[in-house]
Amino acid sequence: MTRRLALAAGLTLAAAAAAQGPPRPPADADATARLEQFMTERAAAGFSGVVLVARGGTILLQRGYGHLDAAKTMPVGADAVFTTGSITKQFTAAAVLRLEMEGRLSTDDPMATYLPGVPDDKRGITLHQLLTHTAGFPGASGDDLEPIGRDAFLARVLARPLAQPPGRFLYSNVGYSLLAAIVEIASGRGYEDYLADRLFRPAGMRDTGYARPRWAPERLARAIGDDGQDRGTFGEVAMPNGTPGWHLLGNGGILSTVGDMYRWHLALTRDTVLPAEAKAKMFRPWVDEGGGSHYGYGWSIEETPFGRLVTHNGGNRYFFSDLLRYVDRDLVIYFSTNTRDRAMRRLARPLAQIAMTGAVLDRPARSFTAVTAADAPAPAGSAAARWRLRGGPAAAAAARLLDAMAETNERTLAALVAEVFAPSLRERRSD
C-alpha cells in the first residue's frame, strides 16, 4: 500500500470510530493485554521486530518479537538495534533548529550562505525550503550505498538541474543531506558528533547513531533477502566503510532502539533538546503534502479525530520503522522490523486504535472488533456485521474499506478511496 493510501485508510477508520462515539481509552492493564494479544498474533504470522506503545507516561508495551537473523538463532530483545530510516530527518531538522538557537544560523538563510559553489539557479533556496521539501531538489542523486564523500556529493548535486522550481512540495532525500552538510559547516563538527552531543546525550540516548555507539553484534538486526538468505546488518549493507555515504547521511539510516526512541519522544515533550519556540517551528504544518497531511520540519502532521498526530516512517528493502506521536493524547507508538512482508509493516495505526479505543484486530487482515457506543447492531449478513462493527453509515463505509484492504489490491483500494472517502474529505477541508 502506498503511503497516501495507508494514510487515507487510517484517517477513515479513525473517522468511523469517532462518528460512532469512540469510548474511553481502556485501562492500562486492559490495553496492555489487548496490545500483547495483537502483537502475539502478528508474530505468529511472521513479524520480527521491536515495538513500543506508551500512553500518558506509562509504557504499555515494550518488547521484541521473532528473530534478528534469517537462521532464527538470534531472538529479538527489547534492546535490539534497527535502522530508523527516514525518521533520521527529524534529527537533522532538530540539529538545524539547535544551531539556530545557538545563533549559528537561521532557517531563513539561503543555503549559499554556508555551502560553497552554489550556482545562480539555486542561490535563493533557503534552509526553510530544504526542511519542508520545497527546494525543488529531486528525491535522490545516486545510490544510497555509493561511498561518496561530502565535497563530491555537493559538487554533483549543485551541478545538476532542479527537479522543479522551488516552492512546491517534493519529498527529497537530497535536501536533507544538504542540511547535514550545513550542520557540519555551521557547527565546525561532524554531523554525527554534533547530534550525539547536542541532541542524543541531553535526551539520555546512548544507543542512537551511525557508528559512534559500540553495539554488541547480537543486538543488531540483520537484513533478510527475498530468498530468505542473510544479507548482513545495516552497517554491513549500507556502511561497509564504517560511515554512510552522503546520499544517505542526514536523510536516513540512523540506528536506534525502542528505548532510545521513547527517550527522544520524552525529550520533545519537554525543553530537553529544543525550547518551545523551536519545537513550534518543527511541528508547524508548513506545506500540504497531499492525502490530508502537511509537512513540518522533519515530521508529517495530521489532524485526526484523536487530535494532532506528528509522525514519520522510513525504511528500505530490508528494514522499516514507524513513529507516531498523538500529542493531544500523549500517546506514542514506535516499531522497527526486518520483516519483508509489507502487510507486517502496517502495525502503528492499529496499535494506536487499540490503545485509544480498545479496538482489537482478532486475526491479521480479517477480523476487526470495535468497542463503540450503543449503536444498533449491523444487519445480519452485512459487511459491517462480518467485520463485527456496529450499525450506521460510518460502519458501512469502514467495512467496505476493510474488505478492500483485505484483498491487498491497491487498485481496488485506490478506487474505493477516490469514490467514497476523497469527496467527503475534500468537502470537510473546504469548510
- pLDDT of the chain, 431 residues: tens digit per residue: 344 444 555 555 544 444 455 557 889 999 999 999 999 999 999 999 999 999 999 999 999 999 999 999 999 999 999 999 999 999 999 999 999 999 999 999 999 999 999 999 999 999 999 999 999 999 999 999 999 999 999 999 999 999 999 999 999 999 999 999 999 999 999 999 999 999 999 999 999 999 999 999 999 999 998 889 999 999 998 998 888 999 999 999 999 999 999 999 999 999 999 999 999 999 999 999 988 899 999 999 999 888 999 999 999 989 999 999 999 999 999 999 999 888 888 899 999 999 998 864 333 332 233 333 334 566 666 666 656 565 555 666 676 676 665 554 445 555 555 544 543 333 333 32
Amino acid 405: pLDDT: 59
In 3-state terms, what secondary structure has residue 339? coil
For residues 222 and 215, what is the distance between their CA atoms, to the nearest angstrom? 13
Residue 270 zone, left/alpha/beta (φ > 0; ψ -120 to 50; rest): beta
Q: What is the C-alpha to C-alpha distance for residues 144 and 253, in angstroms, rounded to an integer? A: 10
* Residue 184, pLDDT score: 98
Nearest Cα neighbor of 335 from 320, 315, 354 is 320
Q: Give CA–CA dist 13/421, Å, rounded.
A: 11
CA distance 421 to 12: 7
Torsion of CA 255, 257, 263, 268, to 10 degrees: 40
Q: What local confidence, expressed as pLDDT, does residue 426 receive?
A: 33
Eight-state DSSP code of residue 326: E
Q: How far lies 324's CA from each of 59, 150, 260, 333, in Å?
A: 15, 32, 15, 5
Q: How far apart are CA 416 and CA 12, in angstroms?
A: 12
Identity of residue 208: T
Closest by alpha carbon to 214, among 109, 74, 81, 354? Answer: 81
Q: In 3D, which of 145, 93, 114, 129 has the Cα closest to residue 250?
A: 93
To the question of pTM greater than 0.85 for the whole model, the response is no
**pLDDT number for residue 366:** 29
AA letter at 342: R
What CA dihedral angle connects 371, 375, 380 and 382, to 10 degrees?
A: -80
Q: Encode pLDDT of 122-157 as tens digits.
A: 999 999 999 999 999 999 999 999 999 999 999 999
In sequence order, what are the beta bridge partners of 215? none
pLDDT, residue 342, reads 81
Strand 367-369 vs strand 222-224: parallel, antiparallel, or unpaired? unpaired
pLDDT of 431 reads 28
